Amino acid sequence: MTRYTELAERYGTPLYVYDLDRVAAARQDLFDALPEPFSLFSAVKANPHPEVLRALGAGDGRVCRAEISSLGELGAALEAGFDPAEILYTGPGKTDGELVDAIGAGVRLFSVESLTDLEHVGAAAGVQGVVADCLLRINSASASATTSIRMTGTPSQFGIDTETLGEVLPKMRAVPGTRVAGAHFFPLSNAKDEDSLVGEFRHTLSVAADLEREHGVPLRFLDIGGGFAAPYAVPGERPVYEKLCERLETTLDELFPDWRRGTPHLACESGRYLVGDSGVLLTRVINIKESRGRTFVILDAGINTFGGMSGLGRLLPVAVQPEGPEQAAEIEDGTGLSASLVGPLCTPGDVLGRQVELPNLRVGDILTIPNAGAYGPTASLLMFLGRPAPAEVLVRGGEVVSASRLEHSRVPLTPLAPSAPLEGPAPVGGGRA
């Protein structure tokens, strides 16, 4: 019986197992790949489990800061011990209520997507008598790499179009309660290789330098985004970016001669790279059936457990990690199964993978889906059909640190008390959301 099988028998399936030692290793690898002055933001959305976040924010020397886009993520980050003054609050739909609450909790750094978004931050800050530092998220008119999920160069709810920035910047710098502190870029996710990643970062830094020179964009703080790759729900190893640090330093020396002295303060951000290979998903075979020449392996884990992000092209198809040489040989030489992996939900969309190569299976067997530490339960259709959430077990040094499960509950609400609107633009999203 393997260690994973023992945990599945003890805590049941579906079961996520997160190895905190691998979280620490990924954090260290990424810091090693970045020049020394860089800050690193962990995208809380990738895995908001407080123990995982605590592992990212702990350690000697350089530690991650938290990047969030909701009060729920703020709560997880605070529970994990992150300093609210070091948190970056992002997102295109920040409501007046959440801004007031976030600033009240001590958040002072925001990424803003438009003039009106900045005005909402300023109004919330003004109510509490503080000034919020704001990074202008930039939607560049062009891009370098063409891989994976593009988040720039197209019409978007994200970012300020570079071609309009010159006109709107004077208004943005005059918004009470705010200070334009710099710029925020996030052009792509999951670059296909190191050359693509470096090319995108070079392009981003070049655009930032142009904006500073041509429009006077203040650049005390410059977040150049992410794009760090990692295998996802398939066997494989995280890449180690051996030349990224040197190549970034060369570009920065050319474009920002004072960067080594902290002008601008530089940052990157990452989600799946930091947590993806820390997790595996264990799921049990419930049934195996044939239908018109196709085989279906029905699992107790479906898109309510894993796979809710498949619509973004992030998951399908998954692959199974063989448990030993015999299973590996069955997959390799084709003597195993080729089947669709489907979940238990009453919808034909509950598919984790089609024509997946599998070992020979029996009902009751445990399958291991590797590299599943990012975008798991909270990025899935967790409440669909009311099935229980998967268990989540965290280990360090081979020992269980914690075991828990998210629970769904409905709580009664009372009507919100009428309140005067914040000074500034009209409230968005119905006020305190």
Tens-digit pLDDT profile for residues 111-151: 999 999 999 999 999 999 999 999 999 988 765 544 444 44
Q: How far apart are CA 201 and CA 205, in angstroms?
A: 6
What confidence score (pLDDT) does residue 136 get?
A: 97
What confidence score (pLDDT) does residue 157 get?
A: 76
Which has the closest alpha carbon to 299: 355, 363, 373? 363
For the chain, the residue count is 433
What confidence score (pLDDT) does residue 424 get?
A: 55
Beta bridge partners of 357: 338
Q: How far apart are CA 428 and CA 422, in angstroms?
A: 11
Give the CB-side neighbour count of residue 218, counting CA atoms within 13 A.
15
At a CB cut-off of 8 Å and minimum separation 6, what does 135 contact? 88, 109, 110, 111, 112, 181, 182, 183, 184, 221, 223
Token digits of residue 200: 């995108």
Instruction: Report whether the peptide linkage leading into residue 325 is cis, meaning its omega lies within 30 degrees of zero.
Output: no
Beta-strand pair 15-19/279-291:
antiparallel
Write the single-letter amino acid at 359. P
Residue 204 has pLDDT above 70, yes or no: yes
What does each C-alpha distance from 209 to 181, 206, 265, 271 come to in angstroms? 15, 5, 14, 26
Which has the closest alpha carbon to 179: 208, 143, 136? 136
Please state which architecture CATH assigns to domain 277-405: Beta Barrel (2.40)
> Which comes out higher in pLDDT, residue 363 or 61?
363
**Structure-token match 């739909």, residue found:** 93
188: buried, middle or exposed (CB in 10 Å: 19+, 13-18, 0-12)? buried
Region of 148 (left: φ > 0; alpha: ψ -120 to 50; beta: rest) is: left
pTM (predicted TM-score): 0.91
33-270, CATH topology level: TIM Barrel (3.20.20)
Token digits of residue 299: 């699992």
4: buried, middle or exposed (CB in 10 Å: 19+, 13-18, 0-12)? middle
Q: Where are the domains of the chain?
A: 33-270, 277-405
Instruction: Give residue-wise pLDDT tens across range 64-99.
Output: 999 999 999 999 999 999 999 999 999 999 999 999
At a CB cut-off of 8 Å and minimum separation 6, what does 356 contact? 317, 318, 319, 320, 338, 339, 340, 341
What does each C-alpha distance from 108 to 58, 214, 246 come to in angstroms? 21, 28, 32
Write the single-letter amino acid at 68. I
* Rg of the chain taking only CA atoms, in angstroms: 23
Q: How far apart are CA 339 and CA 350, in angstroms?
A: 14
Instruction: Give residue-wise pLDDT tens across range 385-421.
Output: 999 999 999 999 999 999 999 998 899 999 887 766 6
Interior angle at CA 360, CA 354 and CA 363, nearest 5: 85
CB contact at 8 A, 340 and 296:
yes
Instruction: Give residue-wise pLDDT tens across range 157-172.
Output: 777 888 889 899 999 9
